[in-house]
Structure 1
């Protein structure tokens, strides 16, 4: 029975991922923030473990790593992300810029570095990215800081994969498409229930391939 560790599983796509992997028979370890359990407790079963972790707090990530000592995680899926107002970057307050970058870039990479040794050589490390992180596809601007954060996340995952060039594990940057979440907004075409299964299918298809891949939910390569 495979085990997935999902960082950020209280709501939205993270909660959808937890539900989907449970439905597929996986053991799921899902993290929530203190005071913000979201819907994860509603999925309670003997294959679900809930951990309280703020992904932006390095001490809490390190404590999670200690608690999971001896646990083999076939898939580490880091699903952390926030956005901000759709304004040009020069209008964004410094504190807001830093908050987006710490949450969307620095914290996911710190989590990957801290938890990657739980993932065996046959495993996968996936990070939720976005097509908005593609520089090639930026033809209409908008949400500039969010775009920049996803581009930076992609770049740092690229650096991570280069440092681990001899690593047989598979590294994924996943674009889930536009889904109806708090981040995606109510105008998105697809619900979480529609968006998540193709993401899981894509991750499963890529398992065992090795190397770094930036792909969308239909397993199509996304240009950098």
Structure 2
């Protein structure tokens, strides 16, 4: 293996944007580790088969802390140049007063708590000049919310952003780059069929923005065009 190649771990890479990012980083010459939930075969496995050994597929249910720790142990001999968490769910556009407690808990655990558990557990694997990123959304921006709607999803992304700021504040001297990324409104199961961007239009911009922030310590909230997203 070429020791000069960089390595990216993409958590949540079985489909849509995560799969697109795995393919994009392969195209850019990186080695890639991508995670999927469970043991079923996915498009990521097909991509791995065609990657000449440069893409490794790992199983991870990130809402299970023991599985995150087990992944860390499996990767303990690897050094990551990029750790990127791409995983989120939505349960529809329901006014917050009508959201069942179980649904609220599920979305908050998946979209806010679990990504931060991944970051907290796996950050020792990231090189001192590497990047730690999480897929956020401009719907997590409090100042941009002038129309309401998608109450629970918005709240989960705002919570994620706040937790990432807490993480960054505790590590003010860390030399790693920390990113919250807004991929734009993308046509996925989450974004819907009417979204403005295809995965193929969003992903190169996300990767280019991540590349552009390399070796720039501190926390940055940016979109797929490299523009600052207001908190």
Alignment TM-score, normalising by the size of structure 1: 0.98
Q: Shift of the alpha carbon at 1:111?
A: 0.4
Instruction: Assess if the C-alpha contact under 8 Å between 2:47 and 2:55 holds in 1.
Output: yes
State the match for 1:96 in structure 2: 103
- Aligned partner of 2:142 among 110, 135, 139: 135
Q: Shift of the alpha carbon at 1:120?
A: 1.0
Distance 1:22 1:55 in 2: 23
Instruction: Assess if the C-alpha contact under 8 Å between 2:179 and 2:222 holds in 1.
Output: yes
State the match for 1:154 in structure 2: 161
| CA spacing shift, 1:95–1:36, aligned 2, 3 Å | farther
Distance 1:95 1:36 in 2: 26
- The reply on whether 1:81 has 2:85 as its aligned counterpart is no
Q: Shift of the alpha carbon at 1:35?
A: 4.0
State the match for 2:26 in structure 1: 22
Q: Shift of the alpha carbon at 1:38?
A: 2.8
Q: Shift of the alpha carbon at 1:190?
A: 1.3
- The reply on whether 1:192 has 2:192 as its aligned counterpart is no
- Aligned partner of 1:171 among 178, 190, 193: 178
Instruction: Assess if the C-alpha contact under 8 Å between 2:39 and 2:59 holds in 1.
Output: no
Structure 1, 27-36 or 120-129: larger mean CA deviation: 27-36
Distance 1:163 1:38 in 2: 37
Distance 1:70 1:29 in 2: 13
Q: Shift of the alpha carbon at 1:16?
A: 0.6
Distance 1:137 1:76 in 2: 27
Distance 2:196 2:120 in 1: 34
State the match for 1:59 in structure 2: 66
Distance 1:122 1:190 in 2: 31
RMSD, aligned CA: 0.8
| CA spacing shift, 1:214–1:139, aligned 2, 3 Å | same
Structure 1, 152-161 or 33-42: larger mean CA deviation: 33-42
DSSP-derived class of the 1:123 partner: strand
Stretches of structure 2 lacking an aligned partner (at least 5 in a row): none
Q: Shift of the alpha carbon at 1:37?
A: 3.9
State the match for 1:10 in structure 2: 14
- List per-residue Cα deviations over 1:146-167 (Å, max 9, x = no partner): 0000000000000000000000
Stretches of structure 1 lacking an aligned partner (at least 5 in a row): none
Distance 1:32 1:85 in 2: 23
State the match for 1:206 in structure 2: 213
Distance 1:117 1:165 in 2: 16
